[in-house]
């Protein structure tokens, strides 16, 4: 089996050797899915995984715009349309200076499995730009979004490709992107998700990724007859996912003691309660400030510049910032300090060494493609509401979200339970997602 996996990876490496994040995401899937394929006659010899690692389409385009000083700036725009076997391409847009083809291909590849896990009819895609929104004025953000959409609009549509937000793309950016799409197409459709409530958005969509990751942690803990209530939780990031993970964990009786951004982390031993979180939300979403300002407002908390929060003792860890933010050493520190559950809000935040450490210690560990799927699932619910031209209540959407997270958890158990009873959620998520997409691809022929 080892040699089959190696042979497959060599094929992928030959084409994509300069894409480390993409290779990392493919390797993880290959290690779990190739042995499964070998055990199932219907997939054998069909090169399904080889077809899945090749995007159906990659779009790369120039995004010129004019900054507040009148200078012309040129960024690069991307959309990876990875797989449409089970529905229109669906996945977020990331605006961050680190964005490149490798990062977007890894995200698009993971998205295919994640979207299949939600049970909703959504294919996988991802896009974005190396544009850095930090420090830009509202006018600059708007002009950039308009230029970005002036190319993207011809490739997307409610039945083709439905982008959403991701790092650097929140409600404000979705508004500018949607406005430009509507103007160019002269139609009001559900082509983006994460829209505002008065123009086609869904209740609970902003909260969904963070809430879903906490629901998933709760589902995992229930397998041990345990609960998140009373647990100390360490969260990284302070953006959309981190904020709502913090909110839900606190609502369920846990104590969240850290948040971070790219400049460092804050540790609040007393817990980040609703009032303190409201301050963080205003700081990050409206004032667009830095997390270090938290300690000015709450002096009993501490700020650690340039560090990550994984050294703080906790029972639950939720990485909610970015890929590869938690390495093998961090994982060992968490384990040493008594961490028993890790639910990823971010995509691929744990390195392969960290995942190995969690598995070796047999703690509850959920990969982002399972635990953060609540965001895209609720985007799927936004699409349904747009098609039906109705709005569900907050309670209705939240109930559906909970049910979807619990169903994803069940799928992970179905394919991930090992002989000794330990649940390998990575294996479970990968095989479950693979089966759904692979069956559709088999039925649709070689296309």
- Binding footprint of ligand NDP on the chain (CB under 6 A): 165-168, 170, 209, 237-242, 261-263, 320-322, 345-347, 372, 375
Minimum Å distance from CB 308 to ligand NDP?
Answer: 8
Minimum Å distance from CB 173 to ligand NDP?
Answer: 10
In the complex with ligand NDP, the residue whose CB is nearer, 150 or 237, is: 237
Cα 275 to chain centroid, rounded: 26
In the complex with ligand NDP, the residue whose CB is nearer, 402 or 417, is: 402
In the complex with ligand NDP, the residue whose CB is nearer, 166 or 330, is: 166
With contact defined as beta carbons under 8 Å apart, do 212 and 371 qualify? yes
**C-alpha dihedral sign at 425, 101, 58, 67:** positive
Q: Which residue has the tokens 């499964």?
A: 36
In the complex with ligand NDP, the residue whose CB is nearer, 150 or 379, is: 379
Q: Which residue is nearest to ligand NDP (CB)?
A: 239
Minimum Å distance from CB 128 to ligand NDP?
Answer: 10
Q: Token pair of 396, please?
A: 């209705």
Main-chain dihedrals φ then ψ at residue 93, nearest 5 degrees:
-115, 135
Q: How many helices (H) and strands (E) does the chain have?
A: 16, 12
How far is it, in rounded angstroms, from Cα 183 to Cα 180?
5
Minimum Å distance from CB 309 to ligand NDP?
Answer: 11
CA atoms within 13 A on the CB side of 339: 31
How far is it, in rounded angstroms, from Cα 370 to Cα 405?
8
In the complex with ligand NDP, the residue whose CB is nearer, 26 or 318, is: 318
C-alpha to C-alpha distances, 272 to 252, 280, 324, 364, nearest whole angstrom: 13, 9, 25, 24
How far is it, in rounded angstroms, from Cα 126 to Cα 417?
30
Q: Does the annotation mark 195 as catalytic?
A: no
Minimum Å distance from CB 415 to ligand NDP?
Answer: 21
With contact defined as beta carbons under 8 Å apart, do 187 and 156 qualify? no
With contact defined as beta carbons under 8 Å apart, do 210 and 243 qualify? yes
Q: Token pair of 30, please?
A: 């290959």
In the complex with ligand NDP, the residue whose CB is nearer, 348 or 435, is: 348
Of 167, 215, 208, 170, residue with least CA distance to 346: 167
In the complex with ligand NDP, the residue whose CB is nearer, 165 or 309, is: 165
How far is it, in rounded angstroms, from Cα 394 to Cα 417?
34
DSSP state letter for 284: I
Minimum Å distance from CB 375 to ligand NDP?
Answer: 3
Which of 105, 114, 126, 308 is an active site residue?
A: 126
Minimum Å distance from CB 220 to ligand NDP?
Answer: 18
In the complex with ligand NDP, the residue whose CB is nearer, 150 or 322, is: 322
How far is it, in rounded angstroms, from Cα 165 to Cα 176?
12
- Residues 6 or more apart whose Cβ sits within 8 Å of residue 207: 244, 247, 248
Minimum Å distance from CB 210 to ligand NDP?
Answer: 8
C-alpha to C-alpha distances, 74 to 55, 71, 129, 186, 398, nearest whole angstrom: 25, 10, 11, 27, 41
Active site residues: 126
């Amino acid at each position: 089996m080892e040699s089959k996996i190696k042979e497959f990876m060599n094929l992928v490496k030959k084409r994509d050797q300069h894409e480390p994040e993409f290779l990392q995401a493919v390797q993880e899937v290959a290690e779990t899915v190739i042995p499964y394929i070998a055990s199932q006659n219907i997939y054998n010899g069909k090169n399904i995984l080889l077809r899945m690692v090749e995007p159906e389409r990659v779009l790369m385009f120039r995004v010129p715009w004019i900054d507040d000083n009148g200078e012309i700036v040129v960024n690069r725009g991307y959309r990876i349309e990875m797989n449409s076997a089970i529905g229109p391409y669906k996945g977020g847009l990331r605006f961050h200076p680190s964005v490149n083809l490798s990062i977007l291909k890894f995200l698009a590849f993971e998205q295919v499995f994640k979207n299949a896990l939600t049970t909703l009819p959504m294919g996988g895609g991802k896009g974005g730009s190396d544009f850095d929104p930090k420090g830009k004025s509202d006018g600059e953000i708007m002009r950039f979004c308009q230029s970005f959409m002036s190319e993207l609009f011809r490739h997307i549509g409610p039945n083709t490709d439905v982008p959403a937000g991701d790092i650097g793309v929140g409600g404000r950016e979705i508004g500018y992107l949607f406005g430009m799409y509507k103007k160019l197409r002269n139609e009001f459709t559900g082509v983006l998700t994460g829209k505002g409530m008065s123009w086609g958005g869904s209740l609970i969509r902003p909260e969904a990724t963070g809430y879903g990751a906490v629901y998933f942690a709760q589902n995992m803990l229930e397998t041990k007859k345990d609960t998140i209530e009373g647990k100390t939780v360490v969260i990284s990031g302070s953006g959309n996912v981190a904020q709502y993970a913090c909110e839900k964990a606190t609502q369920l009786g846990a104590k969240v003691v850290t948040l971070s951004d790219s400049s460092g982390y804050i540790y609040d031993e007393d817990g980040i309660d609703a009032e303190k979180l409201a301050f963080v939300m205003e700081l990050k979403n409206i004032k667009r400030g830095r997390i270090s300002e938290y300690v000015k407002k709450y002096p009993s908390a501490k700020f650690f510049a340039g560090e990550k929060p994984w050294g703080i003792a906790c029972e639950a860890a939720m990485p909610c910032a970015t890929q590869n933010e938690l390495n093998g050493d961090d994982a060992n520190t968490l384990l040493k300090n008594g961490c028993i559950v890790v639910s990823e809000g971010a995509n691929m935040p744990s390195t392969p060494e960290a995942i190995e450490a969690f598995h070796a210690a047999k703690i509850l560990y959920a990969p982002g493609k399972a635990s953060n799927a609540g965001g895209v699932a609720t985007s799927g619910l936004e699409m349904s509401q747009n098609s039906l031209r109705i709005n569900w209540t907050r309670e209705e959407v939240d109930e559906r979200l909970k049910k979807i997270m619990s169903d994803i958890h069940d799928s992970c158990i179905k394919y991930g339970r090992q002989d000794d009873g330990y649940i390998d959620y990575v294996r479970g998520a990968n095989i479950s997602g693979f089966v759904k997409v692979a069956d559709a691809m088999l039925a649709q022929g070689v296309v």
